[in-house]
Chain A
Amino acid sequence: QQQVKQSPQSLIVQKGGISIINCAYENTAFDYFPWYQQFPGKGPALLIAIRPDVSEKKEGRFTISFNKSAKQFSLHIMDSQPGDSATYFCAANYNTDKLIFGTGTRLQVFP
């Protein structure tokens, strides 16, 4: 049973375009929603995170949009660059400290 559902599995975007990755969750107890970025051969690294008391958080070209009523959150990468090509994971947790990940999205940005 996948607690955090992520889509799409893969995404191809032209340089300068907007990349959008979506996640949905069922457990309303989740209260922390991070996104991780992983390059081939490396461990994931924290990219940006949001709490459910805000609807949007922006850091540079990366924005998280959060819809609490729909139990959905998404990552937007503006002005996508070839260097953004990586696998992106959404995740969620609550006070048990279990950080649960989505299945990942492989992003390829072509020049």
Chain B
Amino acid sequence: NAGVTQTPKFQVLKTGQSMTLQCAQDMNHEYMSWYRQDPGMGLRLIHYSVGAGITDQGEVPNGYNVSRSTTEDFPLRLLSAAPSQTSVYFCASSYSRVYGYTFGSGTRLTVV
């Protein structure tokens, strides 16, 4: 089992560019989430999904889109990158809400 795989590990974008952060899990988990981690802010929920075809907004959804066409994949799209989106992004998955989430190793994104 690979667990939760995030790609790329590092990315530099110019303001206004778009990109997709990839997340894949091989544990057949229904629940998947995207978080961003900023110093002093903890982990803030961007979007989450409770199964294929079902997504919902988290605490800080603006500027991000998600879709969940398969159980395994949950990509995060930045529509028009802004310097405020410079952060470390984590994808996580879980069997259910009362089981622990398995986190990926993160994507460090810099927007210049």
Binding site for B on A (CB under 8 A): 6, 9, 32, 34, 41-46, 49, 51, 89, 93, 95-104
Q: Are B100 and A100 in contact (CB under 8 A)?
A: no
**Chain A residues whose C-beta falls within 8 Å of the C-beta of B50 in the assembled complex:** 97
CA distance A96 to B47 in the complex (A): 12
Q: Is B103 an interface residue (CB 8 A)?
A: yes
B35 within 8 A of A: yes
**For the complex, would chain A's binding face be called helix, strand, loop or mixed by DSSP majority?**
loop
Interface residue tally for chain B (C-beta within 8 Å): 25
**A9, B56: Cα distance in complex, Å:** 30
- Is B43 in contact with A101, judged by CB distance below 8 angstroms? yes
Q: Does B42 contact A (CB under 8 A)?
A: yes
- Establish whether residues B100 and A34, one from each chain, have CB atoms under 8 Å apart when the complex forms: yes
- CB of A103 within 8 A of CB of B33, answer no
Min CB distance B101 to A, Å, is 6
A45 touches B97 (CB 8 A): no
Q: Is the CB of B42 within 8 A of A6?
A: yes
B31, B97, B105: the one within 8 Å of A43 (CB): B105
Partner among A49, A96, A103, A104 whose Cβ is within 8 Å of the Cβ of B100: A49
Main DSSP-derived SS at the B contact region: strand
- A-chain residues with CB within 8 Å of residue B75 when the two chains form the complex: none
Residues of A within 8 A of B103 (CB): 43-45
Q: A89 CA to B56 CA in the complex, in Å? A: 23
B98 touches which one: A32, A42, A96, A100 (CB < 8 A)? A32
Check A89–B42 contact: CB distance below 8 A.
yes
Contact B48 A101 (CB under 8 A): no
Question: In the complex, what residue of chain A is closest to B49 when comparing beta carbons?
Answer: A97
| CB-based closest 6 A-B pairs | A46-B100, A43-B103, A103-B42, A101-B43, A97-B97, A101-B42
Q: Is the pair A101, B44 in contact by a Cβ cutoff of 8 Å?
A: yes
Give the Cβ gap from B12 to chain A, nearest Cβ, in Å. 18
Chain B nearest Cβ from A37, distance in angstroms = 11
Report chain A residues within 8 Å CB of B42.
6, 89, 101-104
Tell me which residues across on chain A come within 8 A of B58, comparing CB atoms. 98
